[in-house]
């Protein structure tokens, strides 16, 4: 069954045979089939719907919601990647790690720790405890796996980052959708998730992917007020775009929460091949994360750490990152203004992506394809939220924005004519 799900033979929503019937067909005991179904549920591949039986999960984690291949000859606006022209050249450090020796006793370069604290401190993030990992997904996945058990509930943004949604499902955890708007996750939705018994909340303080929201000061304060009532809930703040988000950080971590972690990566502005993340967190979270890291990969490559440190402290790179932030902001605003001028609603107050609500995702994606554009259908990002498409505007110049908006308006007109207004 797992192979069938991975290969698409068993599609999302497909019903699995009742336990006793499948046991008879295969000549095995009902207990064997029930155990197999339980394991499939633990892996997040199937869900049980009471009298509705067991069905393939809406987003099977084994296959992941990988984007379809970009058709040849189309302008790709679906990937969520930075503009390569605004990334620094990656030059490995001249001093390589000497010999074959373990770094378990000193997993983090002290100089990089100092640089990280200097990076986080001005945003009001407590920096007493910091750690490193191999990217945000690696760090968040490790934390959730040590903090929670299969079947536990996690509050996730809706719409939200598809790889995080898949990761939580793959860990056997239950997702409770939390609605977002231009100011990030909504306090009423978080309160509802807490009532549903979630043990963790994963959210973005700015450049929320795909919606583009960012915390206002009022929203941050309201969320802290809600979360203070649940001191044992782990709050994971994923600041994935940080230096190029185009919006100030208003962090939850300075609000006196007991269990918290602020995660940052550099892939959006230093290079997508730099699989490195840092986190500031409370002492308990640090101990649990680093204890599991020690038992697995042990440490993050010192060669990688030296590369990140060299870029973070280089004046030319800092200037390039500042230019990138300005460029992404101006490109995002240009597209939004062109869309608004044609009556198209676009969401994206920070970051390098826009979320455009539409009635029929397939009609819009296929319609834009005929004009030479390739955008991401929103189904990969949605749980209970309405349909939409995500557009990455990182390398869209003003002239491109005009053409995209014009073509998008034409596609919407064609779609309305086809589907009856």
Domain 106-313, classified CATH 3.40.50.1820, yes or no = no
Q: Using the 8-state DSSP alphabet, how is residue 12 labeled?
A: T
Q: How far is CA 267 from CA 82, 88, 135, 243, 413, in A?
A: 9, 11, 8, 11, 38
Q: What is the Cα–Cα distance from 341 to 176, expressed in whole angstroms?
A: 36
Contact 293, 133 (CB under 8 A): yes
Determine how β-strand 234-239 pairs with β-strand 130-133.
Answer: unpaired
Per-residue pLDDT of the chain (421 residues; tens, 9 = 90+): 888 887 778 888 899 999 999 999 999 999 999 999 988 887 778 888 777 789 988 765 555 556 678 889 999 999 999 999 999 987 766 666 555 556 777 889 999 999 999 999 999 999 999 999 999 999 999 999 999 988 899 999 999 999 999 999 888 899 999 999 999 999 999 999 999 999 999 999 999 999 999 999 999 999 999 999 999 999 999 999 999 999 999 999 998 999 999 999 999 999 999 999 999 999 999 999 999 998 888 899 999 999 999 999 999 999 999 999 999 999 999 999 999 999 999 999 999 999 999 999 999 999 999 999 999 999 999 999 999 999 999 999 988 999 999 999 999 998 765 544 4
| pLDDT at residue 134, rounded to an integer | 96
| pLDDT at residue 99, rounded to an integer | 58
| pLDDT at residue 104, rounded to an integer | 74
Query: Where are the alpha helices (H) located in 178-282, listed in sequence order?
Result: 187-195, 217-227
* CATH domain 75-84+317-419 topology: 3.90.1150
| pLDDT at residue 45, rounded to an integer | 80
| pLDDT at residue 172, rounded to an integer | 84
Query: Distance between the two ends of the chain, CA-based, in angstroms?
Result: 41
- The DSSP annotation for 115-150 comes to HHHHHHGGGT---SSEEEESSHHHHHHHHHHHH--T
Q: How far is CA 169 from CA 158, 204, 260, 368, 417, in A?
A: 14, 19, 21, 31, 39
CA nearest neighbour of 201 among 241, 143, 157, 256: 157
Predicted TM-score (pTM) of this structure = 0.85
- The helix/strand/coil state of 111 is helix
* CATH domain 1-56 topology: Arc Repressor Mutant, subunit A (1.10.10)
By CB atoms closer than 10 A (0-12, 13-18, 19+), residue 343 is: exposed
Q: Where are the domains of the chain?
A: 1-56, 75-84+317-419, 106-313
């Amino acid at each position: 069954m797992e192979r069938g799900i991975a290969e698409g033979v068993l599609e999302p929503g497909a019903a699995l045979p009742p336990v006793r019937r499948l046991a008879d067909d295969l000549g095995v005991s009902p207990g064997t089939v029930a155990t197999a179904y339980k394991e499939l549920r633990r892996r997040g591949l199937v869900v049980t719907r009471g009298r509705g039986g067991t069905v393939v999960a809406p987003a099977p984690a084994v296959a992941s919601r990988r984007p379809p291949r970009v058709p040849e000859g189309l302008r790709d606006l679906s990937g969520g990647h930075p503009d390569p022209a605004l990334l620094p050249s990656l030059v490995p450090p001249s001093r390589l790690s000497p010999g074959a020796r373990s770094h378990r006793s000193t997993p983090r370069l002290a100089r990089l720790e100092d640089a990280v604290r200097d990076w986080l401190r001005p945003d009001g993030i407590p920096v007493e405890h910091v750690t490193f990992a191999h990217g945000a997904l690696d760090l968040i996945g490790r934390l959730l796996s040590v903090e929670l058990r299969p079947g536990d509930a996690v509050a996730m943004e809706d719409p939200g980052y598809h790889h995080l949604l898949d990761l939580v499902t793959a860990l056997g955890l239950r997702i409770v959708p939390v609605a977002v708007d231009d100011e990030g996750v909504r306090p009423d939705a978080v309160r509802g998730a807490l009532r549903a018994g979630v043990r963790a909340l994963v959210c973005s303080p700015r450049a929320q992917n795909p919606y583009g929201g960012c915390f206002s000061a009022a929203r941050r304060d309201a969320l802290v007020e809600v979360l203070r009532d649940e001191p044992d809930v782990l709050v994971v703040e994923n600041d994935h775009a940080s230096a190029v988000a185009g919006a100030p950080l208003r962090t939850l971590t300075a609000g006196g929460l007991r269990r918290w972690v602020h995660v940052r990566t550099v892939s959006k502005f230093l290079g997508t091949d730099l699989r490195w993340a840092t986190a500031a967190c409370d002492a308990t979270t640090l101990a649990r994360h680093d204890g599991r890291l020690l038992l697995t990969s042990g440490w993050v490559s010192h060669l990688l750490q030296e590369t990140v440190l060299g870029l973070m402290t280089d004046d030319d790179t800092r200037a390039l990152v500042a230019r990138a932030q300005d460029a992404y902001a101006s490109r995002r605003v240009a597209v939004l203004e062109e869309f608004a001028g044609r009556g198209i609603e676009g969401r994206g107050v920070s970051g390098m992506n826009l979320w455009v609500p539409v009635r029929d995702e397939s009609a819009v994606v296929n319609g834009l394809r005929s004009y030479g554009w390739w955008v991401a259908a929103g189904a990969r990002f949605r749980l209970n939220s309405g349909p939409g498409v995500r557009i990455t505007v990182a390398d869209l110049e003003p002239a491109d924005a005009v053409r995209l908006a014009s073509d998008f308006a034409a596609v919407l007109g064609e779609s309305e004519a086809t589907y009856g207004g």
